[in-house]
Amino acid sequence: MLVTSLLLSAALASITKPANATPTEYALLTLASGNVFRVLNSGPLLDAEGKRLALAFTYLSTAQTQNELQGAAEELFQYLRPHAEHENDKAVVIIARLGSGSEVVDQDLLYERQPSGKWKRAAGASKPFPRAMPVPPDEDPSEHPARRVTPRSRVSDP
């Protein structure tokens, strides 16, 4: 039941903007590996009554394969896990937004905390990976002026 609720909530939370919407605003998160993630949203995922269901993280992805997507999700999960444990979250949902314009697809990966305290990636509904869609140059984080941020101006911990 928890998995279904989380996936439904994540799907509702990740509704895309129309193709003619203004450019997507994002913050940059640079991890110790040097990988840079374009963060759209981060924080608790709540149900209709305001009960915390999970820690959610949505980012713009440039992944071209399922393996790249899973690798990025694993790296983000390792970053988010201590925060989720501190808040006693039972799950972490990582939502990768792929593509641009009218061809945006959200892929979500769910990590659940087992009764033993260990974390396990849940087997979710298998969505086909979208065809390769290059990111427009103005959305490439290495080209973005905010890429050259000072450590104090980076995205803070969720």
Residue 32 predicted with pLDDT over 90: yes
As given in the structure block, the two tokens for residue 80 are: 């988010």
Higher pLDDT, 104 or 55: 55
Whether the model clears a pTM of 0.85, i.e. scores above it, the answer is no
Give the neighbor-by-neighbor strand order of the sheet with 119-121. 27-30, 36-46, 52-60, 91-98, 105-113, 119-121
Output the pLDDT for position 102: 76
Higher pLDDT, 146 or 70: 70
Output the pLDDT for position 132: 57
Per-residue pLDDT band at 134 (split at 50, 70, 90): low
As given in the structure block, the two tokens for residue 20 are: 């003619």
Q: Between the CA of residue 26 and those of 5, 38, 44, 47, 110, what are the distances in Å?
A: 26, 6, 18, 24, 22
Give the three-class secondary structure for 108: strand
